[in-house]
């Protein structure tokens, strides 16, 4: 069975763990990078990885490796501080690549 994982701050991942997802607390980007690499390089049973937006800039190179791959889907989510718009921008870019135009608007 394929799994869903979440990487983020302790406050962010706590609620996902309660829902039964694999939750990995990483308050530092170095820790998040190690976790992401382990999930993408050592496992083949993770279909979706949610990553807190605040960690994404430090993980950009690793995340970009999977932007055209069906699995794992790496999706940015807002953290405790709220959305920085990175997740929506990534979604908009993926839709534009797939459809050929921006159908989501601004």
Cα 53 to its chain centre, rounded Å, is 8
pLDDT digits (tens, 9 = 90+) for 17-63: 888 899 999 989 999 999 999 999 999 999 999 999 999 999 999 99
Residue 85 confidence (pLDDT): 55
* pTM for the whole structure: 0.78
What domains are defined for the chain?
Answer: 3-99 (3.40.50.10580)
């Amino acid at each position: 069975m394929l799994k869903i994982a979440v990487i983020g701050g302790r406050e962010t991942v706590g609620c996902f763990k309660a829902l039964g997802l694999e939750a990995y607390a990483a308050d530092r980007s170095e820790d998040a990078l190690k976790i992401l690499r382990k999930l993408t390089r050592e496992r083949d049973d993770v279909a979706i990885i949610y990553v807190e937006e605040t960690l994404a800039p430090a993980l950009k190179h690793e995340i970009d490796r999977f932007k055209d791959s069906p699995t794992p889907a790496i999706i940015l989510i807002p953290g405790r501080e709220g959305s920085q718009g990175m997740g929506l921008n990534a979604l908009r870019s993926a839709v534009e690549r797939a459809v050929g135009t921006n159908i989501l608007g601004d």
